[in-house]
Structure 1
Amino acid sequence: MRKQWMVGLLTVGLVVCGLSGAGHTRVQASTTTDSFINHMSSPVKKVADQYKLYPSVMMAQAALESGWGTSQLSTSANNYFGIKGAYNGASVTMSTAEYNENGQLYYTQAAFKKYPDATASMTDNAQLLRNGTAWNANYYAGTWRENAPTYVAAANALTGTYATAPNYGASLINLIQTYKFYSLDSVPVPSKKPTSNASAVKYYFGADNQTATLGSKYKSYAVYNHVKGSKYKATNYGWSKVGGWQGRPVWIDARGYKVSTKTNWYRIRFSKQTTAKKYWVYSSALSFPKTTYSSYKKTVKLVGSAYPVYNHVFNSTYIAKQLTTTKALVNQSVKIDDKATHIQSGITTTWYRIHGGSINGWVSSLAVKK
């Protein structure tokens, strides 16, 4: 979960002090899902559409974080996301749970933002998703409608960024589908049927520390601020402006699949720092580590340490996103149905695709007991 909001979100069910005599006119939190949905649909849709986010995802977040509007923060301060601090100088002080550096739980008094109404709470949350963090303005870019083709992609993009819980995105999707929040995402039907799908690009976001190098033919391809030919205006920077040489390392955090040409583009930066300027390049401009796949069926157990589980082999051309860790499956039998040999900088590593309970993904061979 976001470090700066982690404690605030724990207030759902943990806040033990209240506030009386609040003088603001506000949307009262409901005790039933129907009432909550009726009260919140209008402000959620208004704000989400304004910031080009998915109303369905915002509605699911508000319901999940506030316990359907029953948390003390939502009833006393219209705070539906447990955000700490002050809003235009207004706050409420409540007892909340925190963890010290040793992981021990203790209680302390903290100030939480007090909003005049639900719309203000939604707006504050939307601005966070749009503006990102102090160290990375694009931290939540996976939730933006221009990057996420569906509410499912936007909800999943919150896992590992907005929240560390591995099932956070799945929980939101379950709420959206159960209560049909997706109906809030409806957009006007275009007056004209598109004549071409040339601008269609499917984006896949992953861990930001994956690497490749500039290939031998990188100068044959330009550098852009967007995928060339997408619905966004792409500016050609040229290598003379950004610099480059064969073998220069680049860090990658996203892949764009251009539907019309069935080609891949990658979002790169020339520094390990995630705040560095990002560019898009065609796949042929890059040289990736070699990954070879083969069928491999076996039942194994995982070691005691928590290793990351990715949706693809890490540092492969697919761009891997961490789904969870192996901690939940330690000492349990899991099935392997595929194997990958990964060669990077002369170092060979082995990866396995595992299936265990609700966890499916790729892990390093180090996670598997010999």
Structure 2
Amino acid sequence: MTKKKVMKIAVTGLILTSSLTMIPAVAPLGEENVAIAATNANQTFINTLAPLAQASQEKYGVLSSITLAQGILESGWGKSELTKKGNNLFGMKGRYNGNYVLMPTLEYVNGKWITINAEFRKYANWQQSVHDHSLLFVNGVSWDKNKYKKVLDAPNYKVAAQELQNAGYATDPGYAAKLINLVETYKLDQYDVLYDSIISESAYSAYAKVTKVSGNAVWTKPYKVKGTSLVGVASNYQNKDIQIVRKATTKRGTYYQFKINGTVVGWIDGKALTFYDKETSNKAFVSRAKITSTSGHTIWTKPYNVYGRSQVARADGYANKEVKIEREAKTAHGTYYQFSINDKVVGWLDKRAFTVYEFDSIISDQKVNLSAQVSQTAGHTAWSNAYKLQGLTKIGPASNYQNKDVTIDQKRKTQHGTYYHFAINGKSTGWLDTRAFKLYDAVQYNKAVNLDAKIVNPTGNAFWTAPYFSTGSKLVTSASTYAGKDVKLLREAKTVRGTYYQVQINGKVIGWLDKKAFKFYSTIKSEVTVNRPAVVTTVAGHAVWSKPYEVVGTTRVNAASVYQNKQVHLLKKAVTDRGTYYQFSIDGKTIGWMDQRAFDLYDNIEYNKAVHLTGTVTNAVGNAAWTEPYKALGTKLINQATAYQNKRVTIIREAKTSRSTYYQFQIDGKTIGWLDKRAFTNVK
């Protein structure tokens, strides 16, 4: 055999049985057994080898159909002695990591079959066999690195099979045809498509638990879609509750994208999940019932198997309890009732646990004394007793009493709700749901006042003949009719709803209006005449007004900044509920009123006379020398009195203010300034 015919690869078209009797691995082309349908054993072989072939195709480019067809042909569906003894699927000759199996084989040489003994590679498993087979195509042989390049570059299995034969992989002249026949018989070319394409994808909202983790994983895209990568094994999320946000179908199956704690994690096979039920309906369903069948039932915070539900208690703890059913919900598992006891919701329980009564019972009953108007009649009916009680009769639709003022003397509560017994003009009429009535408010007090205000917030407010929602209150007009008007407030009344004022405009009483509609003017608590000088020093946030700020009738005169650092004379002082204000003049002209915080006030000098005295400065601490008596207009600091401690001085003038008496003094014939009289001793 030439060097080209005896290579370190399998080139056999036959396999050996355990008795070493040679039999055909695949019958000659066209014979009956070429078209044998795939048995369960054959399909198991394909299913086992296909993932290894696809992994090799993804890494090295060897078509999976060629790997599978060669594996079938060379190993006789994995039943050859070489495969059994050495996990060698492809008849690869030579040694693998020093390991081999010595086997007889047939070679087709010079037009005839001959038997030779050869070393065949021995592998630990099929994965090594596939890997080594692929490397042969990638690396070639020592004398030709590109021997199988055309196999790798082949666009399909037919070209690849022929290029294998052309490269001399096997000596059998029908080798390519046999491979092609296997591919087409068992549809092996389907495994050449490594990636799935997404058939459909859409937003999907559901909750589920990861329960079947074996063989599953989480991916960045649906499994086997091109570009997907592993996020982690499914066991990382075992028994985790997840939120499903998208659904995608591929040829392989259905996959779901999910979040945990609001963060997207990845995609997982739907077979790994147990889905929570969705509520197909959830509606009010009020009735009186008793829990009579507790065996096998549990009370939940939500209907059974709805996401987020948790166990409240075993149903048998509530056996024979009379309850009120609040709501009914339906899921794929059944129908469930939410129930309460003594107005406290307990939870959800299977409908089959209850016996539902036809009639309600009276839960509570009390005498009342209320005034109201029948205002919400839609869906309501007047009855001879509270609704759903045994023996009641229908009186008529609530619309018969629309806008009627009524008195209410009894309040009765049942499982269905709360009902009032009412009378019109002192005549007993019937029972209506409390929601049909507009109850009038009780007036807590109603007193005379004398206030000035402006209507500044008319939106949503109106004038009424009495405080809003009190007995006999009727609409007069919208508050917007008098928007911006100055008004006089005559009375103030308070109800549970708010505070209201009776309004007079130009001597005419209009009606009652909510306190929130008004801007209240300030009231002058006191006003006195003053006479003292001052300087306007702090102007930020201040203005000059014709009257004290926010007193009725006041108007803006000017910005305070116009008078900054001006010497002024204060004429009047007014105290309001908002603050203290001064009226001031400049050069004898009255300007207006401004907040006291804008002024620096000075003392008036009551007298200033010449004297001739001597004394000693002994109480200097806390005193200072000034150019004028302290806090007289224009005074400025000269020095701290401590500079003159124990000095003998001459006193030349004496002045008095409302604050104190001051001396102007000299030292050694030099006039120093003015100092508080109390700083001196030994005055003569």
Q: TM-score range by the shorter chain?
A: 0.3 to 0.5
Normalised to the residue count of structure 2, the TM-score between the two structures is 0.24
The TM-score, its normalising length taken from structure 1, stands at 0.42
**Higher RCO, 1 or 2 (CA under 8 Å, sep at least 6)?**
1
